[in-house]
């Protein structure tokens, strides 16, 4: 079983739509969780960390469900510029070298 | 501006040649990493280093070598022993503390011709 699993998509949504991605992780001892955004042929960039209580940054909301071992990312009022691949990243907390990356979920926002 | 710089952005290599990818950071981060990304796959860890003069193998270290002589620099050599070297290579750095996110360079796209 992979450490981190994501639905690869693609998710094709119209502008203004709300879209949600889930990501499951296998190690129940995982401590840190992140969402990264990666544009085509570019490096991943940190979108947001995911905290136990959930957190929001503008149109983006991240949630953590430890009991079911998944994290989610909700994007409201989708913009064309949100089109990218979203990577789920999990760390067991024993060192940053143990960041495990999902394969990413591809989002395309359609005019 | 602080950041991580990888060079070159594109690299072509003939089969049987060794090539070295550069990675420099001025973020004062202790930890540095090399990842490989192939289409449809997640990032896979090649090597990492948490302090100068020390580094550890990641999940796919075979055919690669690294050095960490300076805190700012973590070059990766792709040797001729690497059977399928064509890929997108990403260097990252982070603070040594636990539970910290990694910051990435712009990547080097290596193609074997």
- The answer for A27, left when phi > 0, alpha when psi is -120 to 50, beta otherwise, is beta
CA angle, B22 then B10 then A109, to 5°: 110
Residue B47 corresponds to which tokens in the numbers above? 């090597």
Which residues are within 8 A (CB) of A53 and not within 5 positions of it... i.e. 6 or more apart? none
CA–CA separation, A30 and A41 (whole Å): 29
Closest by Cα among A28, A81, A97, A17 to B33: A97
pLDDT digits (tens, 9 = 90+) for A44-74: 999 999 988 889 999 999 999 999 999 999 9
**A4·B90 Cβ contact <8 A:** no
Residues 48-107 of A with CB under 8 A from B: 49, 87, 89, 91, 93-97, 99-104
Q: Tell me the C-alpha to C-alpha distance, in Å, between residue A30 and each of A20, A24, A96, B54.
A: 22, 11, 12, 25
**A95·B98 Cβ contact <8 A:** yes
pLDDT tens over chain B, length 113 residues? 679 999 999 999 998 899 999 999 999 999 899 999 998 778 899 999 989 999 999 989 999 999 999 999 999 999 988 889 999 999 999 886 666 788 999 999 999 98
- Which pLDDT does position A29 carry in this prediction? 85
* B44 → chain A, closest CA residue: A101
Cβ atoms of B38 and B87 closer than 8 Å: yes
How far apart are the CA of A91 and the nearest CA of chain B, in angstroms?
A: 7
User: DSSP label at B109?
Assistant: E
**A31·B40 Cβ contact <8 A:** no
CA–CA separation, A36 and B74 (whole Å): 23
Which residues are within 8 A (CB) of B69 and not within 5 positions of it... i.e. 6 or more apart? B52, B53
**A96·B95 Cβ contact <8 A:** yes
Q: Which chain A positions have a beta carbon within 8 Å of B107's beta carbon?
A: 41-43
**B102·A8 Cβ contact <8 A:** no
**């300076």: which residue's tokens?**
B70
pLDDT digits (tens, 9 = 90+) for A10-54: 999 999 999 999 999 998 888 889 999 999 989 999 999 998 888
């Amino acid at each position: 079983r992979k450490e981190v699993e994501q639905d690869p998509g693609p998710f094709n949504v119209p502008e203004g739509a709300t879209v949600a991605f889930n990501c499951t992780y296998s190690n129940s001892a995982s401590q840190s969780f992140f969402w990264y955004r990666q544009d085509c042929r570019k490096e991943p960039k940190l979108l947001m960390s995911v905290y136990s209580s959930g957190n929001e940054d503008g149109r983006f909301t991240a949630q953590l469900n430890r009991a079911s071992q998944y994290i989610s990312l909700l994007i409201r009022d989708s913009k064309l510029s949100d089109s990218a691949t979203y990577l789920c990243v999990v760390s067991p907390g024993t060192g940053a070298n143990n960041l495990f990356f999902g394969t990413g979920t591809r989002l395309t926002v359609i005019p | 501006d602080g950041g991580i710089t990888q060079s070159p952005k594109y690299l072509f290599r003939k089969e049987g040649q060794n090539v070295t990818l550069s990675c420099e950071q001025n973020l004062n981060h202790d930890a540095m990493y090399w990842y490989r990304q192939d289409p449809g796959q997640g990032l896979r860890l090649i090597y990492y280093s948490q302090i100068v003069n020390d580094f550890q193998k990641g999940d796919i270290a075979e055919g690669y070598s690294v050095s960490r002589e300076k805190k700012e620099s973590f070059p990766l050599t792709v040797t001729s022993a690497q059977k399928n070297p064509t890929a997108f290579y990403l260097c990252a750095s982070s603070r040594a503390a636990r539970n910290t996110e990694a910051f990435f360079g712009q990547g080097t796209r290596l193609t074997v011709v």
